[in-house]
Structure 1
Amino acid sequence: MKKKLIPEFSLLCVAFIWGSTFVIVQNAISFLEPMTFNGVRFFLAGLILFGWLVLFKQKELGNFNKGLLFSGIIMGLWLFGGYALQTFGLLYTTSSKAGFITGLSVVLVPLFAYLILKQKPKPNAVIGVFIATVGLYFLTVGDTFGVNQGDVLVFFCAISFALHIIFTGKFSSLYSTLMLTVTQIFTVSILCFGSAFFFENWQVVFQVDVITKNEVLFALIITSLFATAIAFFIQTKFQKYTTPTRVALIFAMEPVFAALTGFVAANERLSITALFGCLFILGGMILAELPQKLRSHNSNLKYDMKTKES
């Protein structure tokens, strides 16, 4: 249990970083469009990690091979797919619905883990996933829901994020964490810039007055260092010590942290329904963490008490 505590707490910190930077990114993309922003963000993160690699981990450069390159590109493709599909989906749907549908990756991960990795989720994890999904609905959607083309795009975004978790778990134990993280981050950066070239006014990235705006500069520094370089390094390093289903449940806390950050930093109002949603997600995550032996012991204890009574 203690061996899992550090990796899973580290992954929870990643969810906190992503959730707490949501408001910062929202402010920045009003000046720099999403794909352009992410292109710069991931490029800077890649430079940070590559600089660390060259200065302090030169021996790991000898571990670079075609297998590592292929694995990093695959991880980067799914990660980019999640960001791109979510961005384009938001053109046609609301952020609340997009938040819920993206969160459905918590349901898709156990399914893909079983189909691709042949990992059967434990009963308490399945129940935790169901409870967390209900919580996501309460937190992000409330009592209104309908389906449009944006929702479909965001659903494919959820599939991409789910598969990113699956393949991170598959490849992270095979190759150098740092090299794998650098490869996937640069892959995302290249694909984001390519997407921006076709769909956005990417030239603004060369406008000094835009890049040096406080909102943009601050967001790029915080997200490239903490929400990208450090966060994806932590995910790649520690995901190998737990199951993809647990990772998905931990990452389901991201919208909870985003809601709490919005409440504290931007005075956004949290409804009673949203608060219930937060509690459901937290409850689902805690339930999935309960040892199976403890649940079995409690069930046996109840059975013994009933037997004595009869």
Structure 2
Amino acid sequence: MKKRLLADIILLFVAFIWGATFVLVQQAISFLEPFTFNAVRFLFAAFLLLIWFILFNRDQVKKINKKLFISGLFIAACLFSGYALQTMGLLYTTSSKAGFITGLSVVLVPLLGFFILKQKPRAIAVIGSLVAVAGLFLLSFGDSFLLNKGDVLVLGCAIAFAMHIILTGKYTNDFPSMLLTITQITGVAIFSSIGAFIFEDWKVVFNQDIILQKDVLIALFVTAVLATAVAFFAQTKLQQYTTPTRVALIFAMEPVFAAITAYYWADERLSVFAIIGCLLIFMGMIFSELPTHKKKDKTLQNVKSA
């Protein structure tokens, strides 16, 4: 019981870190462009994970093979797409709205799982999805009923993260968790670096006036160390002490933390319609994860958001 409680508390802290990073990233990308920021973030995180692997998991080297790299790159492609769309979306929408829309990935998992893995979604998951979609409509359109480009980009991010959850659930039992994590984090770093090289002025990372900006340094440290390296490691290690449903519910708090931190740190305010939309999305997340008498969906054992 103590291990389970400790696991839940630490995972709740992970959800808080992910929620809080929306504001930090939004501030940082005013100095570093999205691909460049993610390249530095994931390269640093991959470096930290690699050091951890060398120190504590060297016995797993013999398990490295071609299938691991291919599977890891597939997962990395989804994770890269999610973070790229999320970071670009933050250029056009608010942190609080981005946090709630990203949280839709939890709701989208059973729906995408039906089309990709042929897993029939539970009725309660369908109800949760419909409630969340209604909330997304109110949140995205608000009282102006104008579609925000940033909202669309972040919705694409939610779909990509849902795909990441599904593929992680598919491959997680085939490889050691640390190796799979390092492979996908490194893959995201490579994809982001390529994007920065092609589409952005990546040389700004060598500009001390930019890279040493307080907002940039804080955002890179928190996202690379806490929100990526530590968070992935914590999720991998601690899920064995709790249940998939509890983990999904805990991670559903990420958009709530995003809205709270955006309120206090960025002075963001939501309209009445947007607040109702946020509540509906949160209710949809809860509905989609309510336990039933049916066999639990193992895909949700590896839930992930920003």
TM-score by length of structure 1 reads 0.78
Distance (Å, rounded) in 2 between the aligned partners of 1:156 and 1:285:
17
Write the letter of the residue equivalent to 2:207.
Answer: Q
Distance (Å, rounded) in 2 between the aligned partners of 1:242 and 1:63:
27
Contact preservation (8 Å) 1:50, 1:182: yes
Deviations 1:208-258 (A, max 9, x none): 232222111111111101111122334556779877x99777655433321
Alpha-carbon distance change, 98 to 13 in structure 1, aligned in 2, over 3 angstroms:
closer
Give the equivalent residue in structure 1 for 2:165.
165
Contact preservation (8 Å) 1:106, 1:248: yes
Alpha-carbon distance change, 181 to 189 in structure 1, aligned in 2, over 3 angstroms:
same
Write the letter of the residue equivalent to 1:222.
Answer: V
Write the letter of the residue equivalent to 1:177.
Answer: S
Q: The residue matched to 1:267 in structure 2 has which SS?
A: coil
1:122 Cα shift? 1.8
Task: Give the root-mean-square deviation of aligned CA atoms.
Answer: 3.4
Distance (Å, rounded) in 1 between the aligned partners of 2:239 and 2:132:
20
Alpha-carbon distance change, 18 to 101 in structure 1, aligned in 2, over 3 angstroms:
closer
- What is the percent sequence identity of the aligned residues? 57
Matched, 1:49 2:49: yes
Q: Indicate the structure (1 or 2) with the bigger Cα radius of gyration.
A: 1
Distance (Å, rounded) in 2 between the aligned partners of 1:270 and 1:151:
14
Give the equivalent residue in structure 1 for 2:298.
none
Write the letter of the residue equivalent to 1:201.
Answer: D
Alpha-carbon distance change, 7 to 72 in structure 1, aligned in 2, over 3 angstroms:
farther
Matches within 5 A, 1:25-40: 25-40=25-40
Question: 5+ residue gaps in structure 2?
Answer: 295-306
Contact preservation (8 Å) 2:99, 2:256: no
1:6 Cα shift? 8.0
Matches within 5 A, 1:52-131: 52-87=52-87, 94-95=93-94, 102=102, 104-131=104-131
Deviates more, 1:152-161 or 1:52-61: 152-161
Alpha-carbon distance change, 148 to 285 in structure 1, aligned in 2, over 3 angstroms:
closer
Distance (Å, rounded) in 1 between the aligned partners of 2:126 and 2:4:
19
Distance (Å, rounded) in 1 between the aligned partners of 2:148 and 2:283:
31
TM-score by length of structure 2 reads 0.79
Give the equivalent residue in structure 1 for 2:281.
281
Distance (Å, rounded) in 2 between the aligned partners of 1:127 and 1:3:
33
Contact preservation (8 Å) 1:102, 1:157: yes
Alpha-carbon distance change, 88 to 207 in structure 1, aligned in 2, over 3 angstroms:
same
Matched, 1:267 2:270: no
Distance (Å, rounded) in 2 between the aligned partners of 1:81 and 1:220:
19
Give the equivalent residue in structure 1 for 2:291.
291
Give the equivalent residue in structure 2 for 1:298.
none
1:135 Cα shift? 3.0
1:79 Cα shift? 1.1
Distance (Å, rounded) in 2 between the aligned partners of 1:139 and 1:148:
10
Distance (Å, rounded) in 2 between the aligned partners of 1:81 and 1:225:
20
Write the letter of the residue equivalent to 2:162.
Answer: A
Alpha-carbon distance change, 157 to 11 in structure 1, aligned in 2, over 3 angstroms:
same
Alpha-carbon distance change, 239 to 167 in structure 1, aligned in 2, over 3 angstroms:
farther
Matches within 5 A, 1:5-44: 13-44=13-44
1:282 Cα shift? 3.3
Matches within 5 A, 1:209-224: 209-224=209-224
Deviations 1:147-181 (A, max 9, x none): 68877665544432221111011111221111111
Write the letter of the residue equivalent to 1:279.
Answer: L
Matched, 1:184 2:221: no
Q: Say how many residue pairs are matched.
A: 291
Give the equivalent residue in structure 1 for 2:299.
none
Deviates more, 1:234-243 or 1:22-31: 234-243
Distance (Å, rounded) in 1 between the aligned partners of 2:219 and 2:291:
39
Distance (Å, rounded) in 1 between the aligned partners of 2:149 and 2:272:
29
Q: The residue matched to 1:181 in structure 2 has which SS?
A: helix
1:117 Cα shift? 2.2
Alpha-carbon distance change, 9 to 172 in structure 1, aligned in 2, over 3 angstroms:
farther
